[in-house]
């Protein structure tokens, strides 16, 4: 697979505060990469460095082998959503997309295509941004990110403000985009949502990568030794067969917990001609691993380090323009 985003030993400090600490990872073409961590863990700072809004203290980020600032007409290659509210509140949704299309040299028909894609009606497109709900702003931001038909999407908390139907729509949209060869980097503090779509997950806490891999490898890490939860039409007989094979078995609810991989339980049931009604991997899950590894940087903790101060008023908008995305 082709690495479209490469983060190489990236560090960003604000005085004594180390917001990002020697972070390295890659995002592959045709895959959705989930960038996960509590609020304040370093996700947004990393993404701001990616798109040239925050200079790194050390290290480098490249997209398609180039620094973001070196990409010609960047919006045609990289779609960005960092802050859905970072546009002029007095402009309408259609005006915001039209200005983006003009800056990228796109026909006005592309604006109508994107409004339809994200489900914003003509009446909603005529409203000023200040009158949008957060969910509508997110949909407009996604439309702006996709406006230039880019190869790469960098999205910071895109599910914020979306209702359950909107979140499902977004998952399908991004999964389809990756299936067509696009590269998606999707940040969130909501593990359960990202778990449903991400091919690869990167967990960050206190500015450092604490785990990364696909769902299967992270589950294996979370579970440690293999365990299985099983129910059958004859639990007593199944327990006897598993014990005979040397496996530790204990009752759990209406079923059994066994200190062996699920496939071994299946083999034992087959040999004993016992019908299984449920069989699944036991042990800890991804949520347990996520909470364990990132607990030190969770904002609910009493020792959380405060984030750095916001940039001064003259700093560039959190959304790259021209060629960037709201």
- 3-220+287-297: CATH topology is Rossmann fold (3.40.50)
Taking only the tens place, the pLDDT of each residue in 129-142 is: 999 999 999 999 99
DSSP letter for each residue of 214-251: -HHHHHHHHH-S--EEEEES-HHHHHHHHHHTT--EEE
- 225-281: CATH topology is Alpha-Beta Plaits (3.30.70)
Q: Say whether pLDDT at 303 is over 60.
A: no
Comparison of pLDDT for 116 and 313, the residue scoring more:
116
Provide the whole-model pTM: 0.74
pLDDT of residue 223: 57
**Per-domain residue ranges of the chain:** 3-220+287-297, 225-281
Residues of the chain with pLDDT > 70: what percent? 85
Confidence of residue 296 (pLDDT cuts 50, 70, 90): low
Range list of β-strands (E), the chain: 3-14, 17-28, 32-36, 58-63, 78-81, 152-156, 183-188, 200-205, 208-213, 228-232, 249-252, 255-258, 276-281
Looking at residues 279-297, what average pLDDT do you find?
71
Comparison of pLDDT for 300 and 43, the residue scoring more:
43
**Identical fold between 3-220+287-297 and 225-281:** no
Distance CA 319, CA 70 (A): 17
Looking at residues 146-162, what average pLDDT do you find?
93
Comparison of pLDDT for 313 and 53, the residue scoring more:
53
Taking only the tens place, the pLDDT of each residue in 196-236 is: 899 999 999 999 999 899 877 876 666 555 688 999 999 99
């Amino acid at each position: 697979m082709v690495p479209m985003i490469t983060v190489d030993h990236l560090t960003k400090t604000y005085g004594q505060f180390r917001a990002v600490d020697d972070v390295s990872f890659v995002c592959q073409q045709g895959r959705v990469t989930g960038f996960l961590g509590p609020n304040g863990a370093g996700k947004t700072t990393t993404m701001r460095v990616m798109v040239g809004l925050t200079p790194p203290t050390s290290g480098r980020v490249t997209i398609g082998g180039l620094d973001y600032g070196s990409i010609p007409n960047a919006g045609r290659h990289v779609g960005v959503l960092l802050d859905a509210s970072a546009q002029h509140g007095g402009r309408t949704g259609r005006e915001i997309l039209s200005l983006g299309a003009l800056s990228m040299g796109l026909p006005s028909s592309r604006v109508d295509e994107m409004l339809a894609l994200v489900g914003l009606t003509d009446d909603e497109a005529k409203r000023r941004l200040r009158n949008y709900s957060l969910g509508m702003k997110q949909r407009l931001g996604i439309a702006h990110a996709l406006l230039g038909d880019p190869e790469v999407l960098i999205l910071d908390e895109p599910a914020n403000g979306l209702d359950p139907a909107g979140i499902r729509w977004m998952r399908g949209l991004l999964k389809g985009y990756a299936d067509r060869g696009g590269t998606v980097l999707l940040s969130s503090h909501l593990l359960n949502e990202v778990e449903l779509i991400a091919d690869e997950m990167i967990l960050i806490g206190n500015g450092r990568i604490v785990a990364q891999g696909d769902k299967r490898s992270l589950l294996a890490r979370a579970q440690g030794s293999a365990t299985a939860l099983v129910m059958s039409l004859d639990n007593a007989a199944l327990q006897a067969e598993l014990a005979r094979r040397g496996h530790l078995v204990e009752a759990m609810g209406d079923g059994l917990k066994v200190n062996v991989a699920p496939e071994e339980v299946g083999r034992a049931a087959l040999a004993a001609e016992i019908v299984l009604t449920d069989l699944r991997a036991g042990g800890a899950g991804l949520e347990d691993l996520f909470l364990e590894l990132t607990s030190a940087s969770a904002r609910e903790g009493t020792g959380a380090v405060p984030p750095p101060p916001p940039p001064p008023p003259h700093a560039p908008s959190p959304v790259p323009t021209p060629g960037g995305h709201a």
